[in-house]
Amino acid sequence: MSTFLKTAINTKYQGLPLLSDVSIPSEEWIRLNFAPSNACTTKAMQYTGHFNYECEFNIKYQDYACFISADDKHKVPISEDVPVSTGVRNKKTLAPAEGEITAADHDFTKLSLTPSITLFINIPNDISESFYDEKVYACFKDAIFQPSSTLRHSTEFFNLMNRQYPIQFLPSILSLYTDGDPDHRCTFGSVQVALICLFLAGVAIEREKMPEEFEDEFEALRTLEDIREKAKDNPCLKIKKCNQTFCKVCYRIRMPTDIFQNLHFLPDPIPSRDNPDHYETFANLYSKPTTEKFRSSLINLESKAELVPSNILISAKIREYIKCNSCRKIRCLYSNSHLIEQQKQDLKLVLQTYTYTCGSLIFSDDHNLAQEIFVRVQISCDSPIELLYYSSKKIGNIPICYWCGANSDFKIVP
């Protein structure tokens, strides 16, 4: 048992001390649950660096900032004839132990409500403190007549900000953190225009001329799809007043001039020079030019192709099979030539060293078989069996289910 964890829990909740016979997981057990099952698994780091930078940005300007987190939650179904449970899709429904469940559990309903949740974050004084404390607003919309849209969200933000700050000026800085849904994603032009409308009203807008290299790129984009695809390289929308005395669009700034002049956009997270496994600190990057090449979604987009040479992904070059330790599905091992006895022994030794999971490599980069034997990496435990498995003539190829990989309980077709 972990004395440290037990002390931490008692300190956190400050209630009655835990009894001595209460079982608390050991620190080793918790550490084990965060360890990858395969040391060679190639999974991108979670791109939380930008959120951390946004938090530190708001701490730096907490006297002038309003930090909002917003999201649309799961739709609440409404039935026409009988009550319908919100716990659909085989999820359990709360009911009295001796009671009778009278609500339907299907999700085929025409009517529903969409809850939009907006959290006004109480900006702490330090990044180690909680950012999930302040007032939460819930707006319910009819999914038929009040569908979620960018303009509707902007209107909600405007009304909620006026309610949050009833007797004072609105903060000079609005920092918004949302998910990637189409009505919230800042790379979409409709979302950008709706957010700009929070600051502009009753004016005519014309975009400023960009540098020549950007104008040439924009000129080459012919369709909206091309513009959206290009905009994926810029996942954040950043708006700042020009502070020009002759400007007829921007209102005059309300924060001190020296603060405004030192106000810069959020930097892009980049790995630290001292420790590449962690991002550089916000203080070291703020006000400095950065690049987006370390954004995980961009890295994933560039790495969509399989690591296996395309001429090897054929049924005739399936040499062995491997079973995922998590889903127990069979995956194919490919090689350009038949494996010699030494390669078979090396492969057997590797598979005995650690367990394989779908989507991971089976060899480290410096292994002698890394460029000889391949497995698909653009798959997961949710992926079905590879179609090439069924056309392979390799000995040991048994009939298995395409979806789950089971090799029993098949129905005999007369």
Say if 406 falls within a structural domain.
Answer: no
Q: What is the reported pLDDT for 42?
A: 47
Kindly report, residue by residue over 297-345, the tens digit of the pLDDT.
Answer: 566 555 556 777 778 888 889 998 888 887 888 899 999 888 898 888 8
Look up residue 379 and give its amino acid.
Answer: I
Residue 127 shares a structural domain with residue 184 = yes
Instruction: Give the residue numbers spanning the domain of 9.
Output: 3-33
Number of H helices and number of E strands within the chain? 12, 8
402 against 80, higher pLDDT: 402
111-121 and 134-142: which strand pairing? antiparallel
Say if 50 falls within a structural domain.
Answer: no
CA atoms within 13 A on the CB side of 243: 14
Kindly report, residue by residue over 187-237, the tens digit of the pLDDT.
Answer: 676 777 777 776 665 555 566 676 776 777 777 777 766 766 666 555 566
Residue 111 shares a structural domain with residue 244 = yes
Residue 157 shares a structural domain with residue 28 = no
Residue 175 shares a structural domain with residue 28 = no
Residue 216 shares a structural domain with residue 351 = no
Residue 231 shares a structural domain with residue 187 = yes
44 against 403, higher pLDDT: 403
Say if 17 falls within a structural domain.
Answer: yes
Kindly report, residue by residue over 83-117, the tens digit of the pLDDT.
Answer: 777 665 555 666 677 777 666 666 567 788 888 88
pTM of the model: 0.53
Q: Which residue reads 């609500």 in tokens?
A: 103
CA atoms within 13 A on the CB side of 87: 8
Say if 173 falls within a structural domain.
Answer: yes
Residue 136 shares a structural domain with residue 213 = yes
Residue 122 shares a structural domain with residue 249 = yes
Say if 272 falls within a structural domain.
Answer: no
* CB proximity list for 372: less than 8 A, separation 6 or greater: 335, 336, 343
Say if 53 falls within a structural domain.
Answer: no
Concatenated DSSP letters of 33-92 = HTS-S-TT---PPP--HHHHHHHHHHHHTTTTEEEEEEEE---EEE-SSS-B-S--SS--
What total of structural domains would you count in the chain? 3
Cα dihedral 371/377/381/383 (nearest 10): -120
Residue 320 shares a structural domain with residue 250 = no
